[in-house]
A and B are shown apart, each in its own frame.
Chain A
Amino acid sequence: ETGVTQSPTHLIKTRGQQVTLRCSSQSGHNTVSWYQQALGQGPQFIFQYYREEENGRGNFPPRFSGLQFPNYSSELNVNALELDDSALYLCASTQGGSSYNEQFFGPGTRLTVL
């Protein structure tokens, strides 16, 4: 059984650029959630995808968007990067969208915006 993987591990971008982060969910999981973890903070929920549809969104602007593919892997896209977007981006997968089901997290992508 393969765990949740994320790529790339680290990324450096400049303000105004666009970035795409990738996540492969754990085998058998159909739900992927994305979180932003700023330095010294807990994770903040960005959005969740269930069977290729967005089915929950946190308090993030529309320039944060995502996709889920038929194999349940996922992408997080951020347009018009701002300095405050610098953070660790975590992906988590689960079977079903309920918080009753355990989420399994990937190691994250560290994004630095200069």
Chain B
Amino acid sequence: AQSVTQPDIHITVSEGASLELRCNYSYGATPYLFWYVQSPGQGLQLLLKYFSGDTLVQGIKGFEAEFKRSQSSFNLRKPSVHWSDAAEYFCAVGGAGGYQKVTFGTGTKLQVIP
């Protein structure tokens, strides 16, 4: 069965510092991979997705993620964090069979300190 592990429940970084959020997945074929952000009172917003091709994916708000098949990972990175990035981040894995096949991780809550 497919699964997603986000090992860090909570991360605190200083504004302007770099950020890396970890995501490990289990999937039997080539996965579709997603990163979403959820701010308080807001729905989920897609940051970026990987389906195929270049393993370094650029997303919105200055985020990027790298698909590493050998490590079953899809870590999210940002070179310089802004206070507005404080939110909860969800990694998700699925396939071509539609969203009923997409599994979300339990999320990483990001706190940004001045």
Return chain A residues, CB-CB under 8 Å to B46.
102-103
Which residues does A use to contact B, with CB under 8 Å? 4, 33, 40-45, 47-48, 55-58, 90, 92, 94, 97-100, 102-108
Residue from A90, A99, A106, A108 in contact with B98 in the complex, judged by beta carbons closer than 8 Å: A99
Q: Are A45 and B102 in contact (CB under 8 A)?
A: yes
Return chain B residues, CB-CB under 8 Å to A106.
43
Contact with A along B13-54 (1 / 0, CB 8 A): 000000000000000000010000000011111100101000
| Band of interface residues on B | 20 to 34
Q: Are B45 and A105 in contact (CB under 8 A)?
A: yes
Return chain B residues, CB-CB under 8 Å to A45.
99-100, 102
Residue from B51, B99, B101, B106 in contact with A42 in the complex, judged by beta carbons closer than 8 Å: B106
A56 to B98, CA, bound (A): 8
Residue of B nearest to A58 (CB): B100
Residue of A nearest to B41 (CB): A107
Q: Are B99 and A33 in contact (CB under 8 A)?
A: yes
Is there a chain A Cβ closer than 8 Å to B81's Cβ?
Answer: no
Q: Are A97 and B41 in contact (CB under 8 A)?
A: no
Is there a chain A Cβ closer than 8 Å to B104's Cβ?
Answer: yes
Q: Are A42 and B105 in contact (CB under 8 A)?
A: yes
A99 to B34, CA, bound (A): 10
A57 to B41, CA, bound (A): 26
